[in-house]
């Protein structure tokens, strides 16, 4: 497994396993099979409502905690945000059954972002989180957060796939020492990604699937990926991407697929801001 070095020296696997949209009743088995396949980076969130299932799989795996890289995410907190953030962190830790997190991300760029971030900074200083970061932050909001706080985000997890490549965003992050991480690396199959002629043709030349080509493309750009699957054979396929490399010409060809537009939703859309910003978790 390859690793990236975060801006505070923490080592993070470049490929992990995500559990977004895996129902809680299927999550424990999925994580168990992912760990058996060799994944050590696991990505969940309070909003996914499957942290407890992830925790059970971790405890039953027998894998030492220090060999795992565990990420979860903070949902939007009501005021006072610093107090509520700490409470949300404790709830996630209890569900996961661990004493610390490797990475804690602010899930959305809404609400009292600064109050939430400063609570995360406090938890980081206390040694309860090895690294803190954000998700879904556009470059302007990311830079604003950096210049107005003591700790810069180690990671920004954003929608990144062949149809929305985020190259300009990545350059801003690189300049500020922030690691880009992809969510939706397969675009959830939209735009017929899995049958795309260009990606299929590249895959045939390497004896690899379209999914493997998409992941290899992310890895060669230095982007951390967290593919999701509930099928053990797909998990094994997705992690089998370190024995080939895309050529410069193939990377350039994939670059032509970029539409520059989200296939899901725009965090700068007022309706999206209203919808996400008002959502609260049951617990």
Report pLDDT digits (tens) over 138-159.
999 999 999 999 999 999 999 9
For residue 268, the Cα-to-chain-centroid distance in whole angstroms is: 20
Q: Where are the domains of the chain?
A: 3-276
Closest CA to 83 of 111, 126, 106, 116: 116
Q: How far apart are CA 22 and CA 8, in angstroms?
A: 31
Residues 182, 157: contact at Cβ < 8 Å?
A: yes
Side-chain-side CA neighbours of residue 272 (13 Å):
10
Residue count of the chain, please give it: 283
Q: How far apart are CA 44 and CA 94, in angstroms?
A: 14
Active-site residue, from 39, 48, 104, 110:
48
Closest CA to 140 of 179, 119, 169: 169
Q: How would you classify the pairing of strands 101-106 and 129-135?
A: parallel
Q: 122-130: which pairs have CB atoms within 8 A and are 24 or more residues apart?
A: 122/82, 122/86, 123/86, 123/89, 124/151, 127/100, 128/89, 128/93, 128/99, 128/100, 128/101, 129/89, 129/100, 129/101, 129/102, 129/103, 129/104, 130/8, 130/10, 130/100, 130/101, 130/102, 130/103
The SS3 call for residue 127 is coil
Let me know if 48 is a catalytic residue. Answer: yes
The predicted pLDDT at position 79 comes to 81
Per-position pLDDT tens, the chain of length 283? 999 999 999 999 999 999 999 999 999 999 999 999 999 999 999 999 999 999 999 999 999 999 999 999 999 998 899 899 999 999 999 999 999 999 999 999 999 999 999 999 999 999 999 999 999 999 999 999 999 999 999 999 999 999 999 999 999 999 999 999 999 999 999 999 999 999 999 999 999 999 999 999 999 999 999 999 999 999 999 999 999 999 999 999 999 999 999 999 999 999 999 999 989 997 5
Residues 186, 209: contact at Cβ < 8 Å?
A: no
Q: How far apart are CA 17 and CA 27, in angstroms?
A: 11
Q: How would you classify the pairing of strands 17-18 and 11-13?
A: unpaired
What b/e string do you get for 138-158 counting C-beta neighbours within 10 Å, with b at 16 or more?
bbebbbebbeeeebbbbbbbb
What are the two backbone dihedrals, phi and then psi, of residue 152, each rounded to the nearest 5 degrees? Answer: -80, 145
Closest CA to 106 of 118, 98, 95, 94: 118
Closest CA to 183 of 281, 278, 103, 107: 107
The predicted pLDDT at position 78 comes to 84
Q: How far apart are CA 13 and CA 68, in angstroms?
A: 9
Residues 70, 96: contact at Cβ < 8 Å?
A: yes
Determine the topology of domain 3-276 in CATH: TIM Barrel (3.20.20)
Closest CA to 142 of 159, 124, 129, 155: 155
């Amino acid at each position: 497994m390859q690793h990236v070095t975060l801006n505070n020296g923490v080592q993070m696997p470049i490929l992990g396993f995500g559990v977004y949209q895996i129902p809680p009743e299927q999550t424990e088995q999925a994580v168990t099979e992912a760990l058996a396949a060799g994944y050590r980076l696991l990505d969940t969130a309070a909003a996914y409502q499957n942290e407890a299932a992830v925790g059970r799989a971790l405890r039953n795996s027998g894998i030492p905690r220090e060999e795992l890289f565990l990420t979860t995410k903070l949902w939007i907190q009501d005021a006072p945000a610093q107090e509520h953030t700490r409470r949300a962190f404790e709830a996630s830790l209890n569900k996961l059954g661990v004493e610390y997190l490797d990475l804690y991300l602010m899930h959305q760029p809404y609400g009292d972002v600064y109050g939430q971030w400063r609570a995360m900074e406090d938890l980081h200083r206390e040694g309860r989180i090895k690294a803190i970061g954000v998700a879904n932050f556009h470059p302007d909001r990311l830079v604003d957060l950096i210049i107005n706080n003591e700790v810069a985000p180690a990671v920004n997890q954003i929608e990144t796939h062949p149809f929305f490549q985020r190259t300009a965003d990545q350059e801003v992050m690189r300049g500020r020492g922030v690691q880009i991480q992809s969510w939706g690396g397969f675009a959830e199959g939209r735009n017929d990604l899995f049958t795309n002629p260009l990606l299929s043709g590249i895959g045939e030349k390497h004896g690899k699937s379209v999914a493997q080509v998409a992941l290899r493309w992310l890895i060669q750009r230095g982007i951390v990926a967290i593919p999701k699957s509930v099928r053990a054979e797909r998990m094994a396929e997705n992690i089998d991407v370190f024995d080939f490399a895309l050529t410069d010409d193939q990377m350039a060809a994939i670059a032509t697929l970029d539409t520059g537009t989200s296939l899901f939703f725009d965090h700068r859309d007022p309706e999206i801001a209203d919808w996400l910003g008002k959502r609260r978790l049951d617990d």
